[in-house]
Structure 1
Amino acid sequence: MKKSSHWRKVLIPSFIFTLITNLIYVSPSNAVPNEWIIVGSGWGHGVGYSQYGALGQALDGRSWQDILNHYYPGSVLADAPVDKQITVGLSQDKLAVFVRLDKSTDDAQLEMSIDGNPVGIISPGVIIRIESNGSSVVTSGGDDGRSESRGSGKKISFRISSGSGVINTNSGNPDSNPSSLLNSPGHRYKYGTLNVVYGGDNDGRADLYTSLTMRLVDQYLLGIGEMSSAWPKAALVSQVVASRSYGLGKINEGLKGNCGCHVSNNSTDQVYVGASKESSNWNDAVSSANTNSGQPAILTFNGKVITAYFASSTGGRTMSTKDAWGGNVLWSQS
């Protein structure tokens, strides 16, 4: 009995040891390999400048000039023409457009014109309604913007003529609630002239096109929403120069027929959000994106501005324009 009992005491621990050893044993087929192959991708077309790549380089201490030289090899900084105006498409194919001046100062006023003729000054808070009926029919006042007739025409324009404020505009259908649309976030603009153009009928329904025209080198850039304003200054300034160059390149291509604009306000071109983008960091980046002469900077190649393509990320390696879209652009190589 004692022998038998002693044998059982030894056997049980031995069995447990054998079981644990078998559980942690790794067969050669499951051994850790000597190398890994990771397959992935970036976000966007991958051509030109990588925004997250710019962030990484800025965190590593590289200057905004270094970042641009990395992504646009052979490009040269040059002074931008300061008088260029860019037109940004805000909405197309709409049946109704609503406009309101939101004031920042008590003397803010909104000037309205129809087909180039001034028709009056609009006070802050007054809702302007523009609908289509063979042309653009304009009314104003009341919660629905229908209290008073303001005339009709093919092109209705608005600009802040005095004081400080933002042009608030949104679009929808004739039965939309304009107050709800205008009180929603976004769609507020501090600079330039807002144009609502009658574009003809589409399947028996009239179309309205809304755009904003402003100075390229600073007013447009202040509303570009392509990069977090919390990122390092070197990344922000490099984005400003790329966006300014892209905008000028699109101006040189002329107005697009489908919107009467040089660029859209979305990622088809570059995201433009207007007044909501402005902050001390971003505004400082716009004012700092200059050449050594102190003028707003653009990127050029062989003396001509480049349409500086950029994307969110590239998966570690950019694509050339030849691989992405065809054609061989020397400043945009993989």
Structure 2
Amino acid sequence: MGHFVRHLILLLSVLALAAGASAATPPGDSAPAPAPALSSPVYVLTGGGYGHGVGLSQFGALAQANAGRSYRDILDFYYPGTTIATSPRSRVRVLLGAGLTTVTIGSSVPFAVRDATGARTPLPAGELTLAPDLALTIDGQPTVLPGPLAFLPGKGGPLTLGGNGYRGELRVSVVDGALQVIDAVGLDAYLFGVVPGEMPKEWPAAALQAQAVAARSYALANLVKNRPFDLYSDQRSQVYRGVAAESPSTTAAVKATRGEILTFDGKVATTLYSASSGGRTAASADVFGVPFAYLRTRDDPWDAESPYHRWPPRTYTSAALAKAFGLPSPVVDVEIVPTPSGRPASVTLVTRAGTRTLLKAADVRARLRLRSTAFRIGVLRITRPSGPVAPGAPVTVSGIARDVDGAVLEKLGATGAWLPTAKVAPAEDGAFQVTVRPTATATYRLTASGLPGPALTLTISDGAS
């Protein structure tokens, strides 16, 4: 409640300032002392990481591999409590396309097609184009085969779809008058086309092996239900690019971990992963609303090697922040409710007009084009002292330095350089006070994370008393 009251008092003060509000002084009453003027706030955005931050940090896996840790060490760190087990299945069905008017299937070697009756028809090397009537040219004659059709690879070469190679069988069926193509492929052969798209093939073997086990487990834990296929070939499952994506190093990682998955309490673990945790993994409950005991928040020192571990900080003015979120009035305060992981659960923008806009962290990430939701929006504000200032007299400069790092009050020197004057030690709510003794008119500013914030000029009056 105290936190809410502090924000309410600050908001009312700003509203009064913006509106130029004043109350008439009743006859016989003395005029109230002028209220201190509040500077426009400057917002400091800091953060780190890339992606949702749940589970394995890929750059953290890289650091651990470089330190000589095995892929099992890496998996134990990011998925604590899980157990290595053997996959209960060896094949998956991956949706490659749907709603298609035509498809082109081919092979560099002779191949075959099997129709719905089980009859198998040999086909010469080359390409053929199918329409929803499923008509093929066989021995020079147009022939309609009963669907669905399964195209079978020949010896020495995978099938192609639209020129892209895929291992396994390509199954073509007609759904709602259009063509649907599914790749029925071995689980590990599927991973041959997944792992190199998720992690650079040049990375150490232990990192690639950890990625292979995580990708294999994630696929089996998230099989599509009530459809004629098990997985999508895009981000709805994992990006699957087929033969074109394969590389010797990632294929070797899949083979080295053949059939291995992670389980927890006898079930395949949902092994989420992302590029960089920003130094602390997020709990699945905080990001996706689904709690998993092995996907909890924890410090991740291994992520320090990530180029996304810490972002360059940036600042926003009240007007710039309002513009970014399409608000008609400048933002006078930002309130963040954190999750147990330390990431924002929600962000509330308070405007000069008194409106309050509640946002999800994902919405803020999208609007500000951030790489993850591991961010903070700090507030810098200075309260301008009222009344004249005598030379050398103590002056209290107060304000807000909330959710920022390294707040410092600086003074503009005679050479034009800003000189540190005092470190700012804000209270829990961000409030601070610093005493200065200017002997001549001086300009001060508040900084944090090395970035400039609001400034004020203290005018010295020789006749001040």
TM-score exceeds 0.5: yes
Alpha-carbon shift at residue 168 of structure 1 (Å): 0.7
1:137 correspondence with 2:139: no
Looking at structure 2, the residues matched to 139 and 110 of structure 1 have their Cα atoms a distance apart, in angstroms, of 14
Say if 2:217 and 2:269, in contact at 8 Å, map to a contact too. Answer: yes
Aligned to 2:111: 110
5+ residue gaps in structure 2?
A: 1-43, 298-465
Question: Is 1:64 equivalent to 2:41 in the alignment?
Answer: no
What is the alpha-carbon distance in structure 1 between the residues aligned to residue 118 and residue 279 of structure 2?
54
Q: Deviations over 1:267-294 (max 9, x none)?
A: 221121111233321222112115xxxx
Measure the CA separation in 2 of the matches of 1:163 and 1:154: 24
The alpha-carbon distance between structure 1 residues 116 and 277, as it changes in their structure 2 partners (threshold 3 A), is farther
Contact 1:100 1:167 in 2 (8 A): yes
Q: Aligned in 2, Cα 1:264/1:116: closer, same or farther, shift over 3 Å?
A: farther
CA contact (8 A) 1:86 1:247 kept: no
Show structure 1 runs of 4+ deviating over 3 A.
none
Kindly indicate which of the two structures has a greater share of residues assigned to helix.
Answer: 1
Q: What is the CA-CA distance between 1:152 and the residue it aligns to? A: 4.0
Aligned to 2:160: 168
- 1:248 equivalent among 217, 220, 241: 220
- Give the alignment partner of residue 174 of structure 2, picking from 198, 211, 235: 198
Q: Partners of 1:163 and 1:323 in 2: how far apart?
A: 49
**Residue among 239, 245, 249 paired with 1:281:** 249
What is the one-letter code of the residue matched to 1:74?
G
C-alpha contact (below 8 Å) 1:101/1:167 kept by paired residues: yes
- Aligned partners of 2:114 and 2:152 also within 8 Å: no
Between structure 1 and structure 2, the one with the greater Rg is 2
Determine helix, strand or coil for the equivalent of 2:203: coil
Q: Say whether 1:88 aligns with 2:94.
A: yes
Per the normalisation by structure 1, the TM-score is: 0.70
Distance in 2, Cα, partners of 1:311 & 1:333: 14
- The Cα of 1:149 is off from its aligned counterpart by 1.7
Q: Deviations over 1:95-151 (max 9, x none)?
A: 111101123xxxxx31102224325111111x221112xxx422348xxxxx74231
Report the alpha carbon displacement of residue 254 of structure 1 after superposing the two structures with TM. Answer: 3.3
> Retained in 2: the 8 A contact 1:188–1:275?
yes
1:209 equivalenced with 2:210 (yes/no): no
Higher relative contact order (CA 8 A, sep 6+): 1
Q: Secondary structure at the match of 2:294?
A: coil
- Asked if the contact 1:115/1:153 (under 8 Å) is kept, the reply is yes
Residue 56 of structure 1 deviates from its aligned partner by: 2.0
Q: Distance in 1 between matches of 2:55 and 2:98?
A: 29
Q: Is structure 2 residue 106 aligned with structure 1 residue 100?
A: yes
Retained in 2: the 8 A contact 1:111–1:118? no
One-letter amino acid matched to 1:228: P
- Among candidates 187, 192, 209, match of residue 237 of structure 1: 209
Pair 1:270 & 2:238 matched:
yes
**Aligned residues of 1:192 and 1:214 also touching (Cα < 8 A):** yes
Aligned-pair CA distance for 1:236: 0.4
Residue 38 of structure 1 deviates from its aligned partner by 7.0
Matched, 1:155 2:123: no
Give distance in 2, aligned partners of 1:208 and 1:298: 33
Query: Distance between the aligned counterparts of 2:122 and 2:159, measured in 1?
Result: 13
Supply the AA of the counterpart residue of 2:116.
Answer: D
Instruction: Note if contact 1:64-1:235 (Cα within 8 Å) is conserved in structure 2.
Output: yes
Question: With structure 2 as the length reference, what TM-score do the two structures score?
Answer: 0.51
- Is the 1:227–1:239 Cα contact (8 Å) retained in structure 2? yes
SS at match of 1:73: coil
Q: What does the per-residue CA deviation read over 1:12-42, in whole Å, with 9 as the maximum and x for residues that have no partner?
A: xxxxxxxxxxxxxxxxxxxxxxxxx871343
SS of equivalent to 2:182 = strand
- Equivalence map 1:288-307=2 (5 Å): 288-289=256-257, 296-307=259-270
Q: CA deviation at 1:230?
A: 1.0
Residues 58 and 154 of structure 1: is their aligned pair in 2 closer, same or farther, counting only changes over 3 Å? Answer: same
1:61, distance to aligned residue in structure 2 (A): 2.1
Aligned to 2:380: none
**Conserved in 1, the CA contact under 8 Å of 2:158 and 2:168?**
no
More strand as a share of residues: 2
In 1, the alpha carbon distance for the partners of 2:58 and 2:90 equals 26
CA RMSD across the alignment: 2.2
Q: In the aligned structure 2, how far is the partner of 1:131 from the partner of 1:73?
A: 50
> 1:188 corresponds to which letter in structure 2?
G
Q: 1:210 to 1:41 in 2, by over 3 A?
A: farther
Q: Distance in 2 between matches of 1:282 and 1:314?
A: 23
Per the TM alignment, residue 153 of structure 1 is displaced from its structure 2 partner at its CA by 3.5
Q: Which residue of structure 1 aligns with residue 4 of structure 2?
A: none
